[in-house]
Amino acid sequence: MGGYARRAIDGGLSTGIRGQRSVKNAGEGKLKNEHTFRAKIRTLSDGAATGLAVLSTILVVAPLVAIFVYLVYKGASSLSWAFFSQIPKPVGEVGGGMANAILGSAILLAVGSLIGVPVGISGGIFLAEFGRGTKLAHAVRFTADVLNGVPSIVMGIAVYSLIVVPQGHFSAFSGGVALGIMMIPTVCRTTEEMLLMVPNAVREAALALGVPNWRSVLAITVKTASPGIITGCMLAFARVAGETAPLIFTAFGNVGWNSRLNEPISALPLQIYVYALSPYDDWHRLAWAGSLVLIVLIVLAVSLVRYVTSRGVLKGAS
Partner 1 sequence: MGVGIEVTTLNAWYGTNHALQDINLNIPANQVTALIGPSGCGKSTFVRCLNRMHETDPIARVTGTVLIGDLDIYKDAKPVEIRRRVGMVFQRPNPFPTMSIYDNVAAGLKLNGYSSRHVLDEIVERSLKNSALWDEVKDDLKKKSGASLSGGQQQRLCIARALAVDPEVLLMDEPASALDPVSTAKIEDLIFQLKAQYTIVIVTHNMQQAARVAEKTGFFLNGRMVEFDSTDKIFTNPSDKRTEDYITGRFG
Residues lying near partner 1 in the complex (CB under 8 A) are found at 132-133, 199, 201-202, 204-212, 215-216, 219-220, 223-224, 226, 313-314, 316-317
User: Least Å distance between CB 136 and partner 1?
Assistant: 14
User: Least Å distance between CB 301 and partner 1?
Assistant: 24
Judged by beta carbon, residue 11 or residue 199, the one nearer partner 1 is: 199
User: Least Å distance between CB 117 and partner 1?
Assistant: 20
Judged by beta carbon, residue 187 or residue 220, the one nearer partner 1 is: 220
Judged by beta carbon, residue 40 or residue 215, the one nearer partner 1 is: 215
Q: In terms of Cα–Cα distance, which of 126, 303, 140, 317 is closest to 223?
A: 317
Judged by beta carbon, residue 261 or residue 308, the one nearer partner 1 is: 308
User: Least Å distance between CB 100 and partner 1?
Assistant: 42
| Chain-centre distance for alpha carbon 226 | 16
User: Least Å distance between CB 70 and partner 1?
Assistant: 43
Judged by beta carbon, residue 26 or residue 201, the one nearer partner 1 is: 201
User: Least Å distance between CB 211 and partner 1?
Assistant: 4
Judged by beta carbon, residue 119 or residue 206, the one nearer partner 1 is: 206
